Homo-oligomer: A and B are copies of this chain.
Amino acid sequence: MTTTPAITPVLEAGVAQARSLLPPMLREQVATLGDELGRICGYQLGLCDADGDPLHGCGGKLVRPAFSLLCSAAAGGSADEVLPAASAIELLHNASLIHDDIMDGDHARRHRPTVWARFGVPLALLAGDALIALGFEVLGGHRHPATASAVADLARTLRHLAIGQEQDLRFEREQGIGIEDSLAMLGGKTGALLACACRMGARHASAPPDWTDRFGRFGMHIGVAFQLVDDDLGIWGDPGVTGKPVGTDLRARKKSAPVVAALQAGTADSARLARLYATPGDLTDTQVTFMADLVEGAGGRTWALAEADRRISAAWDLLDPLDLDLDARRGLVELTTALTTRRY
């Protein structure tokens, strides 16, 4: 019998700050939704259990608000100024999780039933809409010179999330998806919201427009790198650590980035992998392990991890010329490193 090492999550500075500042604001927002929607949205946010009984803290890691807080501090802003925007980002993130779980038919998230699995599709759909409403309400109600541009940015980001998710659904069915398509989809699905989180930080710190743009491109690169690492874990992650079965994404025949890279490589392994992807029916553990080996053999894994490294490097190239607050910059390095070297 093997023992699984206990996970002792280290809270990076930005995450610790987000976890102390956000839950009170999120609780206040959710309380405006009435008993039923309030309970369901609180459940998704990890503020309460399915019966509405309060939980300590917040279920999500609050990575995106942590980026908003750190980017704001890096650009010389205060946490107070960016907090409503950070909350708005977290509310929209959770809305998209609820809606994506409906679309993907996923039953579990964060070791609990997904919202639709627990409360049914109609209420889950409404809960997602309600969280979008709260996001724009907390952002639009913030008296700050950046509010109008922040709202337009958040709306544009929500549009890109929808387009990214549409591509993700379509790519599952389509043949011949290229690496560029795949990266564009990752940019929409994961990059766009992290880019927005980082722009909010710079914008609410009243940094020059050039800084806002740079922080946004920084966030986009980090978001894509984060998703590439996630795709790697979806194939090669240790089930004892990730809490998901071996090769989840292969089993669902997801066209994640390493798979697309492998399929496009034109090797004998690529052709074998394509045949297995085209064959319907459930896969055995042996087949899943064989497919993972094919992705690796065709160079998909190496490409994806190298692309993640390139993205992180490109991200820092954007911020390095700026005169940032050093503590906050260190926090950003810590958080970025933790996200892209994680095993969970």
Contacts and interface: CB of A to CB of B under 8 A. Distances in A.
Given A102-B125, A151-B151, A137 B159 contact: yes
A93 to B, nearest CB: 13
A152 interface: yes
Nearest to A154: B136
B154 A37 contact: no
A61 interface: no
A98 to B, nearest CB: 10
For the complex formed by this chain, how many copies does it contain in all?
Answer: 2
A123 B169 contact: yes
Contact of A129 (B36, B37, B147, B158): B158
Interface string A128-155: 1110111111011101000111011111
A148 B152 CA distance: 10
A117 interface: no
Given A122-B169, A123-B169, A136 B151 contact: yes
A37 B162 contact: yes
Ordered nearest first, which 7 A-B pairs have the shortest CB separation? A140-B151, A136-B155, A140-B152, A137-B155, A133-B158, A103-B122, A133-B159
17 contacts: A33-B163, A99-B126, A103-B121, A103-B125, A103-B126, A132-B132, A132-B158, A133-B156, A133-B158, A133-B162, A135-B155, A136-B154, A137-B152, A140-B149, A140-B152, A147-B148, A148-B151
